Amino acid sequence: MSALPYPIYDIPFHYKAPYPSEPPVDLVSIIIASYNYRDFIEATLDSVLTQTHKNLELVVVDDCSTDRSVEVITCWLTQHKDRFLRAILAKPHHNQGLAQTRNSAVRLACGGKIFVLDSDNMLFPNCIARHCEVMDRTGAEVVYSIFEWFGAIKQPGMGDFWDPDKLKYGNYIDAMAMFSKTAWSEVGEYSYFDVMGWEDYDLWLKFIDRGFTGVFIPEVLCRYRVHPASMSFQETGPKGLRLIVEMTARHPWLDLDPIR
């Protein structure tokens, strides 16, 4: 199932620095899907601010938060807008869910390289620079690294080389990754799920179906915050069986086992 139709937005904040002509070829768009993470979003944005890669665009889509997230984001963007070649905060008129919120952010982005960051996670300062360097050198459609769990759990996270034969048994690649906007468009964007979860896994599988390649950076470049409101606790775990059924229907070559 494809994403929902393009939503109608309010744009609480939009800043664009003057370009000499077209956006720089090394422009990276960091997209953030935000929903009711007011207590975490400022730390997430601060980690974007420290990136060593120069030419950045920041696109935040807030999915109708009810906890004053929009005010926090707007204040932060007002203070730090000059760090970015372009910064935008958009808010759809109706709650869309994660897949559509991410799709909306990518559509609004101008960069050919997209980096996905959820509003409770963080990046180490060289994260974008390393992903950009590897993507340019290899020509891969997606590049990702090891992430570090922090918060309720503190330990290294998952990370392994791109291997369709391994991905058929389950996902080990987090949503925090850099991908080509062209590749994302060619596979039909993030797909909408009746049960929210595994949108990123489905995207990687669609990349595989199209013959696209991924490259793994064996370095810890991202941080995944673990807390009771994390999606892994709220959505994926309790509804995993329904997700397995839906994913297998979309990608019959999978071999997903709810007990494995």
- In the chain, the domains with their CATH numbers are 9-250 (3.90.550.10)
pLDDT tens digits, one per residue of 69-97: 999 999 999 999 999 999 999 999 999 99
pLDDT of the residue at 233 = 46
Letter for the amino acid at 128? I
Cβ proximity of 149 and 259 under 8 Å: no
pLDDT tens digits, one per residue of 105-137: 999 999 999 999 999 999 999 999 999 999 999
The answer, as to whether pTM is greater than 0.85, is yes
- Nearest alpha-carbon partner for 180 in 41, 29, 44: 29
Q: What is the full per-residue pLDDT of the chain (260 aa) written as tens digits? A: 445 556 678 999 999 987 767 889 999 999 999 999 999 999 999 999 999 999 999 999 999 999 999 999 999 999 999 999 999 999 999 999 999 999 999 999 999 999 999 999 999 999 999 999 999 999 999 999 999 999 888 887 778 999 999 999 999 999 999 999 999 999 999 998 776 678 999 999 999 999 999 999 999 999 999 987 655 544 455 577 888 888 999 999 999 987 65
Q: How far apart are CA 65 and CA 91, in angstroms?
A: 9
- SS3 label, residue 255: coil
- From first CA to last CA, the distance across the chain in angstroms is 26
Q: For helices 199-210 and 240-250, what crossing angle results, to 10°? A: 20
Cβ proximity of 175 and 121 under 8 Å: no
Instruction: Give the pair of three-digit tokens for residue 139.
Output: 């020509």
Instruction: Give the pair of three-digit tokens for residue 54.
Output: 């120069």
Tracing tokens 């929009």 back to the chain, one arrives at 70
Phi and psi (nearest 5°) for 97?
90, 165
Q: What is the CA radius of gyration of the chain?
A: 17
> What residue spans of 18-97 are helical by DSSP H?
38-49, 69-80
Tracing tokens 């996902």 back to the chain, one arrives at 171
